Amino acid sequence: MKHRTLYGVAGLTAVALTLTACGGDDGGGDSTSDGPADLRMTVWTADEAQLALFQEIADAYVADHADTVSGISFETLPFEDYTTGITTQIAGGNPPDLAWIFESSAPEFVASGALLDLRPVLEETDGYDAGDLEPDALRLWENDGGLYAYPFSNSPFGVFVNTDQLTAAGQPLPADLIAAGDWTWDRAAEIAAATAQASGKAGLVVRDFDFALWENLGTIWSSFGAEPWSEDGSTCEFTSPAMIDALTWIHDQIFTTGALPGPGTTADFFAGDAALTVTQISRASALDDSFGWDLVPLPDGPEGHVNVIGQAGIGVFADGPNADVAADFLAYFTNPENAERLAAYFPPPRTSLLTAETLQGANAKLTTEQLQAVVIDGIPGAVTKPAHANFAQLQAAIRAELDALWTADADVSAVAESVCAAAEPLLAG
């Protein structure tokens, strides 16, 4: 009898374990849920001040909507594996309700049908003023008239300058070159190379470019009139004369003039290891008073001045159990009042908020002149960093082929040909 009891308990345990393991969410989400929803949003930022602001806005929403929402949490995923983290959660049957999505993944997320069309809820929410949203900023997130994410952050690229290093090297400051109408990539490379020579540190660092995330080089090649693929995403453009010129220029600055640090060299501008860096204004928070610095717009290229922005959107997963509630929260999270508060860290797509005064409130380190020149003037008409519905595969395939370019004796045209040979099948698919 004792044994029978033992077998019975063991058997029931086994059955219970099996049912527990197999009885989980099917991954497709439930279209309805009982009671107030507990919303979850994935973000990449781990900045405590930013997360505190998110939570403050979310708590205010929960207080007003206790009947529909019981709580809202923000889950930080590592930047490097951010998109991978989201898709892994989806594959595991545990998708977030809302997610921050990078511009590079936008076409894939928008085209897949994974995201909810937000346009109806944004346009119907009282006081939302959807007409205030900058049309250029929305373009990447639209499909067949629908808007599949709110372009939450529109961060233009600019150039941070270590004025101490440039002065010590006897080089002109970019602000003076801008005033003289002589702020070009050639001049930037010239002073970067001379300063690197004098300081023994790096010259110009492009967005922490480590010779893997080649898309950051778009900040340079855009003003050469180059783009990695055609606007409809179907044709490789690495072999275009403009791109060959741009890649040749970049190669020369690495291996001939030494203006750009070579592969395998680590140089953190914000630690004082470089003279100039191309990056976004959010990095200003990493600056202290250890050296004099300035922030200026991107230099002009052969095709004139081209602004480049990085974008991030917030989308709601259509198959999530709380999609409608999540969309309503997103409308609250990004309404004019909250958008103004969030502008402290994330330049919004609202034209009414794109003023130096609004952004100055939260970017005390930057002057109104810097904000006007780099952010306010940098968003309208800007080129967005490369994005494609097949971006992940393109990123990896092009990275592998471009590796051949990062040697001193590389044949730029031959590398460009091999890049297109690898990219064309992925662009066609």
Largest CA distance in the chain: 97
Residue from 31, 33, 84, 413 binding other proteins (CB under 8 A): 84
Residue from 57, 69, 77, 90 binding other proteins (CB under 8 A): 90
Using the rule CB under 8 A, give the single segment among 21-29, 119-127, 146-154, 369-377 that binds other proteins.
Answer: 21-29
CA 32/CA 188 separation, integer angstroms: 57
Q: Which of 166, 161, 128 is nearest to 147 (CA)?
A: 128
Q: Which residues sit opposite 102 in a β-bridge? A: 312
Identify which of residues 26 and 232 has a Cβ nearer to other proteins in the complex.
26
The helix/strand/coil state of 220 is helix
Using CB under 8 A as the criterion, what x/- string covers residues 158-197 for binding other proteins?
Answer: ----------------------------------------
Using CB under 8 A as the criterion, what x/- string covers residues 195-234 for binding other proteins?
Answer: ----------------xx----------------------
Least Å from the CB of residue 32 to other proteins:
17
Chain centre distance of CA 138 = 15
Identify which of residues 52 and 400 has a Cβ nearer to other proteins in the complex.
400
Residues in contact with other proteins, total (CB under 8 A)? 41
Identify which of residues 7 and 292 has a Cβ nearer to other proteins in the complex.
7
Burial environment of residue 304 by CB neighbours within 10 A (0 to 12, 13 to 18, 19 or more): exposed
Least Å from the CB of residue 23 to other proteins:
12
Asked whether 192 and 180 are in contact (CB, 8 A), the reply is no
Asked whether 345 and 362 are in contact (CB, 8 A), the reply is yes
What residues have CB less than 8 Å from 381, skipping those under 6 apart? 136, 307
Residue from 38, 47, 129, 319 binding other proteins (CB under 8 A): 319
Using the rule CB under 8 A, give the single segment among 48-56, 80-88, 132-140, 228-236 that binds other proteins.
Answer: 80-88
Using CB under 8 A as the criterion, what x/- string covers residues 294-313 for binding other proteins?
Answer: --------------------
Residue from 10, 49, 168, 180 binding other proteins (CB under 8 A): 10
What b/e sequence results for 142-165 when a residue is b if at least 16 CB atoms lie within 10 Å of its CB, and e otherwise? beeeebbbbbbbbbbbbbbbbbeb
- Window 106-135: residues binding other proteins (CB under 8 A): 108-109, 112-114
- Window 249-278: residues binding other proteins (CB under 8 A): 262-266
Identify which of residues 52 and 428 has a Cβ nearer to other proteins in the complex.
428
Using CB under 8 A as the criterion, what x/- string covers residues 387-426 for binding other proteins?
Answer: -----xx--x--xxx-xx-xx-------------------
How do strand 98-102 and strand 383-384 relate by DSSP bridges? Answer: unpaired
Helix, strand, coil percentages in the chain from 3-state DSSP, rounded to 5: 45, 15, 35
Which tokens is 330 given? 């997103």
Residue from 31, 70, 88, 234 binding other proteins (CB under 8 A): 88
Give the angle 367-371-374 at the CA atoms, nearest 5°: 130
CA 75/CA 51 separation, integer angstroms: 9
Which tokens is 200 given? 């023994």
Identify which of residues 71 and 78 has a Cβ nearer to other proteins in the complex.
78
Least Å from the CB of residue 141 to other proteins:
15
Least Å from the CB of residue 6 to other proteins:
5
DSSP states along 42-91: EES---HHHHHHHHHHHHHHHHH-TTTEEEEEEEE--STTHHHHHHHHHH
Span between the terminal Cα atoms of the chain, in Å: 66
Identify which of residues 265 and 351 has a Cβ nearer to other proteins in the complex.
265
Identify which of residues 9 and 180 has a Cβ nearer to other proteins in the complex.
9
Which tokens is 284 given? 């200003």
How do strand 293-297 and strand 150-162 relate by DSSP bridges? Answer: antiparallel
3 makes contact with other proteins (CB under 8 A)? yes
Identify which of residues 375 and 419 has a Cβ nearer to other proteins in the complex.
419
140 makes contact with other proteins (CB under 8 A)? no
Q: Which residues bind other proteins (CB under 8 A)?
A: 3, 6-7, 10-11, 13-14, 17-18, 21, 27-28, 81, 84, 87-88, 90-91, 108-109, 112-114, 211-212, 262-266, 319, 392-393, 396, 399-401, 403-404, 406-407
